[in-house]
Amino acid sequence: MEAALLAWFAEHGRELPWRRTRDPYAILVSEVMLQQTQVARVVPRYLAFLRRWPTVDALAVTSPGDVIREWQGLGYNRRALNLHRAARQVAGEGWPQDLTELPGVGRYTADAVARFAFDRPVLPVDTNVRRVLERTGADFGPASAHALMDLGATICLARVPRCENCPLAERCPSRGRRYPAERRQSRFEGSFRQRRAKTLRRVAIRALPAAELDAEALSSLAADGLVQVREGFAALPDDSGSEFRLS
């Protein structure tokens, strides 16, 4: 099965910018952005992010507020803070052997950076890879990581897999099966997540009196470290500790 998968990938694999580098920083940026965000949305933001901060040292010396501003529109803004904290840790101490020691880096992200940047013999298992593994019941090595991701993203889909186009279909025990719809995420429109996002967007433009903002959303953002509230004003976190932009 693995040979068939790799042959398919050589012809049909997706051309993605983070696949053209072995820089662990660039790969970490891509993996953090791809958490809960679609590839098509990530590509232009990834390129813009690396143009602004091309190295881990460049990101480490900027302010967390600037990183949050750059992240606007990607959602789940705590990822921006964790990425910034990870950059500072790496800039000060180097890349740890156990990458889960970095802020916001779980097992999958650690394995992805280990595989794609450091060429370690580990297979990163995300949702798409897990789906292919479970349906085929086959064993695949680390060299198949990108191929498994692409197969799960484009062919072995969650509900109605495209078995007629799958290079593994002939030996797949799940061929022809259909699956129930997965539980959808709660709607963003009208949700507390939307209130948080709206509040953060306003504060990202300039510091504002806390009394003018959604109090519950502001409290939640402050608890996550995404905003600071001092002397009655809310602003993005800044290393100076006092430079609130009031105009």
Contact status, residue 227 vs residue 237, Cβ threshold 8 Å: yes
- b (16+ CB within 10 A) / e for 119-147: eeeebbbbebbebbbebbeeebeeebbbb
> Under DSSP, is residue 133 helix (H, G, I), strand (E, B) or coil?
helix
For residue 24 the two structure tokens come to: 């662990």
Contact status, residue 115 vs residue 145, Cβ threshold 8 Å: yes
C-beta neighbour count of 103 within 10 angstroms: 14
Q: Is 11 part of the annotated catalytic residue set?
A: no
Residue ranges of alpha helices (H) inside the chain are 2-12, 24-34, 39-52, 56-60, 64-71, 78-93, 107-116, 127-136, 145-154, 192-205, 215-223
Contact status, residue 25 vs residue 89, Cβ threshold 8 Å: no
Catalytic residue among 11, 31, 164, 189: 31
The set of catalytic residues is 31
